[in-house]
Structures are given as C-alpha cells and as structure tokens.
Amino acid sequence: MNFDTMIIAPVYSQIALDIALRISRGELKENTKIYGRSVMASEYGVSPETIRRAMSLLEDTGIVEIRQNSGTIVVSAEKAREYVKKFGERNELRTYRRKLRDLLGKQKALSRDISETAEMLISVSERFSQTTPFPNYETDIPPESPLIGRTLGELRFWQQTSATVIAIRRNSQIILSPGPYAVITAGDTLIYIGDIKCIDAVRDFVHGKINE
C-alpha cells in the first residue's frame, strides 16, 4: 500500500464528524438551533459552502434537520453517537496511517544518514590506515584508571610504554594526533602504534602500574 497516495477525508466530512461529536457530548443539545453557516464557517476557518455540505451530510444521517427560515436544528443525539462510533474509527485509522507514513519518512531519512555516516567512517578509516605504516592497537580507559584527568605529556606516555598515541576515540569522535596536552578521560579508547611488546606495557600502565 502506498501511504503517500492514500485519500484523506474531505474537510466537510471532518467538520461533520466534529459537529456530531459535539452533539453526542451534549455541547449542542437536541431541539436547539446550530449557529448559522457564516458563524460556523468562521469557527472552522472554511467557506459557508463547506459548512452547508457538512450539514447536508448530517441531515442525511438523521442527526440534524435543515428547516427553511429556521436554520439547522439538532434532532438526534443518539444518531450522532452512532455516527461518531462508525466514522470516528475510520478517522482514527486515517490518523494512524498518516502517523505511520510520517514515521516511514523519518526512518528513510535516518537510514540515509546512517549510510552516509558509515561511508564517511570507512573513508576516514582507509585514509587513517594509509597514513600509519605500523600496525595500530587499541586499549580502553576504565573508570578506575589513574591516567584519567592527566595529559599524555604529564604521564610521559611514550617513555613509560614505548607506544605512541596516534588517536583517541571519544564517544562518536576520533581525535587524531592528540599531542602532549591531550587529557585522558574515562571511556576513552587510545589508539597507538609500537612494537608488539608495548601492548603489555600499555595495558599495565592504563591499569595503574606506573613507573614514575
């Protein structure tokens, strides 16, 4: 089913449903006159002709009676309730269909954004790998790490581990070439290069085995 081509109820039928709802709730009582077309047109922001069609629809269902020189009279609150029950469900269905159509549109836009972001990430990763001739490794900074709140320079990271930090992944960001003034925070992922022996050194350093 193509939700974009779905037919929406005409304005006059929506107004008729709203008036029937008001009658069913007792806002417009039986044997009382409904406001004139001009007043109703102003209230709903439509033309008097649209109000005429709405009233004709309600008259066809026995809810009101259009009397010459007397205006439109409410004749049956019971039929108004039946009308609301019958057509209100259809209106609710239209509402959910429109909501679903909107959600599908948002999902499509989100999928497009995810795809574009993934392509950018792949592109950055490829460029990143081309600029680092040595294998790179990663380690996460746990909440209890003594490195938190200190800079790479202050920690003498390279001297302590023989590893060079080339990037820090923080949430959805990647900080390239962080430099000696980069401050370590909990949850960071350090991306570094060095020989394979530095892996154990970095792990121990991150978990508190500092030789200062």
The type of residue at 37 is R
CA atoms within 13 A on the CB side of 57: 21
Q: pLDDT digits over 28-49, tens only?
A: 999 999 988 888 898 889 999 9
Torsion region of 103: left, alpha or beta (phi above 0 gives left; psi -120 to 50 gives alpha): alpha
Write out 128-172 in H/E/C secondary structure.
Answer: HHHCCCCCEEEEECCCCCCCCCCEHHHHCHHHHHCCEEEEEEECC
Contact 146, 210 (CB under 8 A): yes
* Rounded CA separation 91/11 (Å): 12
pLDDT, position 9: 66
Q: pLDDT digits over 2-15, tens only?
A: 434 344 568 898 89
Q: Does the model's pTM come out above 0.85?
A: no
List of domains in the chain: 3-100 (1.10.10.10), 136-206 (3.30.70.1450)
Q: pLDDT digits over 103-156, tens only?
A: 788 888 888 888 888 777 777 666 655 655 567 899 999 999 999 999 999 999
Label the pairing between strands 164-170 and 189-193: antiparallel
Torsion region of 42: left, alpha or beta (phi above 0 gives left; psi -120 to 50 gives alpha): alpha
The type of residue at 77 is A
